[in-house]
Amino acid sequence: MELNKNIKQTQLSTAKQALLARRLRGETIPTKQATATKSTNSTQLPLIKPDPANRYQPFPLTEMQQAYWLGRNSFFELGNVGIHTYIELESTTLELPKFNRAWQQLVDRHDMLRSIVNPDGQQQILETVPPYEIEIIDLRDKTLPERESQLQKIRDRLSHQVFKSDRWPLFELLACQLENQRLRLFINIDGLFVDGWSYQILFGELMQLYQEPTTQLPSLEVSFRDYVLSEIELQKTEIAQKSRKYWQERLSSIPNAPNLPLAKNPASLKHPHFVRREARLGAETWQKLKNKAARVGLTPPGILLAAYAEILTLWSNSFHFTLNVPRFNRLPLHPQIDRLIGEFASFTLLEIDNSNQISFTERAKRHQEQLWRDLEHTYVSGVSVLRDIPRARGVNSGVTMPVVFTSTPQNVDKNRNERLPSWQKDWGEIIEVLTETPQVWLDSQFGEAEGALVLHWDAVEELFPSGLLKEMFAAYSNLLKRLADEESIWSCDRLELIPQPQLEQRAKINQTETSLPDELAHTLFAKQARLLPQQPAIISSDRTLTYQELYQLSNRVGHRLRHLGAKPDRLVAVVMEKGWEQVVAVLGILQSGAAYVPIDPKLPLERIDYLLEDSRVQIVLTQSKLRSSLALPERLQVICLDTDTLARENSQPLETLQQPENLAYVIYTSGSTGMPKGVAISHRSLLNTILATNQSWQVTSGDRFSPLPLSITIYRYTIFLGCLLREEL
């Protein structure tokens, strides 16, 4: 009754109220036309015809299963991870033999608990499997340190376990006997065959069978195999074609994932491990928040989604991005679909646009409306849409959407109004719960427990700078509390979300004010060259250049580039390995009046092509050893600085064309979440960085710089060449 009351307060149409009620119960929301009937109309969903005779024959993986199956391999970024759920609990009342019998009954009942993936990528239900026995380890005679060490070893293994998908079972249950009748139970279930909805079914029925072993559950007439094959046929229908058309028209405009700060390149993590964070809003606070959300037309998931988007906007400095929103995707192709265990899930690529100066309430409603529009077109998988994005953008490299917002339903069956088992009351105390998913960075989840809101973030901790996720999660839970308690925050266009200690720290760090001379970076270097003409500027394995030699070489490059059309705000690419040529190239470009864009030659060729096209360069400076391997487009003018004859070019200084507001360089992000983005830096900003950094680090002309990683190459290229003694400034 409370659910329906809240829905009516949202002031939606009667039809949308009905759909919303189903969504809040965790059901799939079909479009108006997507009602399964016996009609032969092609716009309606086909009904499943159960095929028990072929039940144990191999059948295709769904696109989502295929992504999970491939994602557990190491050759994918953030691979070596199996999608799974790990649960650890401690009990003094759990009867393990009784629990084991109930589990075996579920294995016998549900096909997908007896399934594997064959080496050819087809999944198969096994007709018979050996009885499953929960392994028991007796730790009662161990010392406390020995027990804790053994428990930690088990936890480390199971919480990050990657099952072999071609070997049954794809789950593991293990129990440790402790002193004082205590039992530690570990449960790890691979998600390749068990989605979020299935966990609700699994533990709901497990509780029933544990409490009443003779319970007769309704027989299942349909199999997951029947569903998968029917869904394949569904792709031929008009309703699926309409969904496909909707997403095809949006492909080119779907933004990348939030550009969150990273401490490591995702590709460098060979064995990603997830860490869970948890917070709670008390029942009274949560109810206040739901009531306020309902008054402005927002559902509980809608308000949580909007708050999450605000946090991501702030910490990623991205106003326009895409969230990965999983959906259960149980299409009503048979009356028993809601009772099956299987991996039915898909996801929606939800566009978030926080760029407009409108109130938080209006932004939240826009996100919800966008999700509603997207959910009207769910007959094409999210995996399929994701795979089509690079083609729409005209690139070959893949796109990932690793920032996730997951909604977990609280009811399995709307008629029975079941709930998840209360672990603490029925079986014991939860020690730890963790989910892991391949190619995911951050997964925000929520649920309810005894009327309170429970928030979880599962994330690859080592991917992010230390403390970042802690601050973000604290800000997220604090924002939800403020939304429950403060009326004014709902009408604010920009929310104050940064914790006060961090604001103070930022203010201290950003105290870099310094008086700027009427100079540019390369003109500062020219002064240094006149002051110290014979002092070494570059020392490499094959060549040493003095300041005067470097200055003259860069002037020659500048004259050549200006002859080729270089001018302010026009980009020239530097595609080089580390070497003296890089510094000559950068200085030469700046002398010419143009701006530079550094491109790593180790990038895939299609990524290099994209960067050259996106930056609209017409000239590329490179090295002869790279010339043939780069396969640069013929439209480009290519200069190899180590072989090109520059001696005939003028070595005299060039007239300075740039103003402080003109472009100095553009550097592209790594593109880990999609296509790279160019960050433009002006001469004024560059000069401020040079002077402030040299002053802070007390850099002088006597200092030397060793080769630095790519993230600091801009400093290596320009700052150390412009360093001057304090008295010389």
- The residue among 472, 501, 530 that closes a domain is 501
**pTM recorded for the entire structure:** 0.69
Question: What digits encode the pLDDT tens for the residues 662-679?
Answer: 899 998 876 555 567 788
- The residue among 501, 533, 557 that closes a domain is 501
Q: Are residues 489 and 586 in the same domain?
A: no
pLDDT band for position 416 (cuts 50, 70, 90)? very low
Amino acid identity, residue 450? E
Contact predicate 495/489, CB 8 Å:
yes
Q: Are residues 246 and 326 in the same domain?
A: yes
Enumerate the H helices of 169-299 as residue ranges.
196-211, 224-234, 238-250, 283-295
Q: Is 13 exposed, middle or buried (0-12, 13-18, 19+ CB in 10 A)?
A: exposed
Is the pLDDT score of 232 beyond 70?
A: yes
Whether 15 maps to a domain, the answer reads no
Q: Please tell me whether the peptide bond between 169 and the residue prior to it is cis, using omega within 30 degrees of 0.
A: yes
Question: What digits encode the pLDDT tens for the residues 586-610?
Answer: 999 999 999 999 998 988 888 888 8
pLDDT of residue 30: 41
Distance CA 41, CA 137 (A): 59
Q: Are residues 667 and 528 in the same domain?
A: yes
Question: pLDDT > 90: what percent of the chain?
Answer: 56
Whether 556 maps to a domain, the answer reads yes
Count of domains for the chain: 2
pLDDT of residue 130: 98
pLDDT of residue 4: 42
Query: Per-residue pLDDT averaged across 638-642, rounded?
Result: 91
pLDDT of residue 679: 83
Q: Are residues 527 and 484 in the same domain?
A: no
Q: Are residues 496 and 567 in the same domain?
A: no
Is the pLDDT score of 425 beyond 70?
A: no
Q: Are residues 540 and 476 in the same domain?
A: no
Cα–Cα distances in Å, from 57 out to 60, 117, 233, 330, 687? 10, 12, 18, 22, 69
C-alpha 478: how far from chain center = 23
Please give the angle made by the CA atoms of 325, 378 and 374, to the nearest 5 degrees: 60
Contact predicate 417/410, CB 8 Å:
no
* Of residues 132, 142, 199, 207, the one with CA closest to residue 176: 142
Distance CA 351, CA 374 (A): 10
Whether 407 maps to a domain, the answer reads yes
Distance CA 136, CA 429 (A): 19
* Of residues 374, 423, 480, the one with CA closest to residue 187: 423
pLDDT band for position 101 (cuts 50, 70, 90)? very high
Q: Are residues 466 and 529 in the same domain?
A: no
Is the pLDDT score of 233 beyond 80?
A: yes
Question: pLDDT > 70: what percent of the chain?
Answer: 82
Q: How many CB atoms lie within 10 A of CB 671?
A: 19
Q: Are residues 323 and 410 in the same domain?
A: yes
3-state secondary structure 447-514: EEECCEEEEEEEEEHHHCCCCHHHHHHHHHHHHHHHHHHCCHHHHCCCCCCCCHHHHHHHHHHCCCCC
Domain harbouring 609, CATH code: 3.40.50.12780
Which residues are within 8 A (CB) of 361 and not within 5 positions of it... i.e. 6 or more apart?
A: 296, 298, 490, 491
Q: Are residues 126 and 259 in the same domain?
A: yes
Distance CA 78, CA 134 (A): 31
In whole numbers, what is the pLDDT of the chain averaged over residues?
84
- Please tell me the least confidently modeled range out of 144-148, 625-629, 669-673: 669-673
- Please tell me the least confidently modeled range out of 39-48, 170-179, 444-453, 479-488: 39-48
pLDDT of residue 642: 85
Which residue is listed with tokens 């938080």? 360
pLDDT band for position 422 (cuts 50, 70, 90)? low
C-alpha 299: how far from chain center = 24
Q: Take residue 550 and report the two structure tokens written for it.
A: 């470097």
Q: Take residue 453 and report the two structure tokens written for it.
A: 């809101």
Distance CA 314, CA 312 (A): 5
pLDDT band for position 264 (cuts 50, 70, 90)? confident
Is the pLDDT score of 299 beyond 70?
A: yes
Q: Are residues 444 and 565 in the same domain?
A: no
Q: Are residues 261 and 331 in the same domain?
A: yes
pLDDT of residue 728: 29
pLDDT of residue 13: 42
Enumerate the H helices of 573-643 as residue ranges.
580-592, 605-614, 624-630
Whether 3 maps to a domain, the answer reads no
Longest dimension (CA), the chain: 96
- Please tell me the least confidently modeled range out of 197-201, 242-246, 507-511, 580-584: 507-511
Domain harbouring 284, CATH code: 3.30.559.30
Cα–Cα distances in Å, from 369 out to 31, 57, 484? 15, 42, 22
Which residues are within 8 A (CB) of 673 and not within 5 positions of it... i.e. 6 or more apart?
A: 256, 257, 258, 259, 399, 400, 401, 402, 403
Pairing of strands 452-460, 171-177: unpaired
Contact predicate 428/347, CB 8 Å:
no
Whether 398 maps to a domain, the answer reads yes
User: Which residues constitute the domain of residue 532?
Assistant: 521-719
- The residue among 452, 472, 501 that closes a domain is 501
Whether 351 maps to a domain, the answer reads yes
Highest mean pLDDT (candidates 239-243, 681-685, 709-713) = 239-243
pLDDT band for position 660 (cuts 50, 70, 90)? confident
Distance CA 248, CA 108 (A): 42
Q: Are residues 537 and 616 in the same domain?
A: yes
Cα–Cα distances in Å, from 436 out to 355, 381, 499, 627? 32, 21, 29, 43
pLDDT band for position 398 (cuts 50, 70, 90)? low
Whether 46 maps to a domain, the answer reads no
Whether 53 maps to a domain, the answer reads no
Break the chain down into helix, strand, coil percent, rounded to 5: 40, 15, 45
Q: Take residue 587 and report the two structure tokens written for it.
A: 């200085």
* Of residues 426, 505, 503, the one with CA closest to residue 207: 426
Question: What digits encode the pLDDT tens for the residues 449-493?
Answer: 889 999 999 999 999 999 999 999 999 999 999 999 999 999 998
Distance CA 85, CA 158 (A): 10
Q: How many CB atoms lie within 10 A of CB 122?
A: 13
* Of residues 435, 410, 404, 411, the one with CA closest to residue 191: 435
pLDDT band for position 31 (cuts 50, 70, 90)? very low
Specify which residues 59 forms β-bridges with: 123
Distance CA 459, CA 455 (A): 13
Distance CA 711, CA 264 (A): 11
